[in-house]
Amino acid sequence: MVGFKATDVPPTATVKFLGAGTAACIADLITFPLDTAKVRLQIQGESQGPVHATASAQYRGVMGTILTMVRTEGPRSLYNGLVAGLQRQMSFASVRIGLYDSVKQFYTKGSEHASIGSRLLAGSTTGALAVAVAQPTDVVKVRFQAQARAGGGRRYQSTVNAYKTIAREEGFRGLWKGTSPNVARNAIVNCAELVTYDLIKDALLKANLMTGSCPPFSAWVPGTW
């Protein structure tokens, strides 16, 4: 663009969208075993009576859960549902983070001075929209993570099979189970994360402690400030 250095040209909405999704996928690859351990701990004992659930607990603590899974199901079990997880991040983070600036500009009608209200509205909008788009991938991911390899009888054989099985047995609405609380949760989380980031960034720019334009998704990518 004429009059701009390469480093001065603001990233387009497409770049932000893809950058946020890609960065989230990289983060998911690293942290997925922890997420799987979290799911196993959360669902532990759901098929048992409340009296016996604690006494016969299979998993104890994060590291205990990971080691038990590796020993009984193999290391690959830690990445059950990874494909759906990456699909989720690419659709969820791309909307939640990548579209935040664009939605904020829409609410402020292009004004450079965005009020806290406009930022909160943009954060809650992209947070809720991201869940509406990505909820089926989240449902499949969690179902895979909860599914133990040991003992056979696996309900889902592949990611595509999981989507088809849930839609066939539970209806298409089954792919959107839990959407309402997830929308509420992520609208709040998105406001807290992105609006806080936005306000701190503006304060640093006004204090001349940093220069340049840093979109919200740069928080996911070290070295972009």
DSSP of 42-103, one letter per residue? HHTTTTS-HHHHTTT-S--SHHHHHHHHHHHH-GGGGGTTHHHHHHHHHHHHHHHTTTHHHH
Please say if the pLDDT value at position 78 is more than 90.
yes
Q: What is the pLDDT of residues 157-167, one digit of tens each?
A: 889 999 999 99
Residues contacting residue 179 through CB under 8 Å, at least 6 positions apart: 131, 132, 135
Model pLDDT, residue 218: 46
Q: Dump pLDDT digits (tens) for 10-66.
A: 788 888 889 999 999 999 999 999 999 999 998 887 655 443 444 445 888 899 999
Determine the residue type at 105.
Answer: Q
- The pLDDT of residue 55: 41
Strands (E), the chain: none
Contact 123, 191 (CB under 8 A): yes
Give 139-158 pLDDT, tens digit per residue: 999 999 888 765 556 788 88
- Return d(Cα 183, Cα 174) in angstroms, integer: 16
pLDDT of residue 53: 43
Inter-helix orientation angle 62-73/13-43, to 10°: 80
Percent of the chain at pLDDT above 90?
54
pTM: 0.77
Residues of the chain above pLDDT 70, percent? 81
**In this model, does residue 136 exceed pLDDT 90?**
yes
The pair of structure tokens assigned to 141 is 């991911």
* Residue 28 to residues 21, 40, 85, 184, 207, Cα–Cα distance (Å): 10, 17, 7, 22, 34
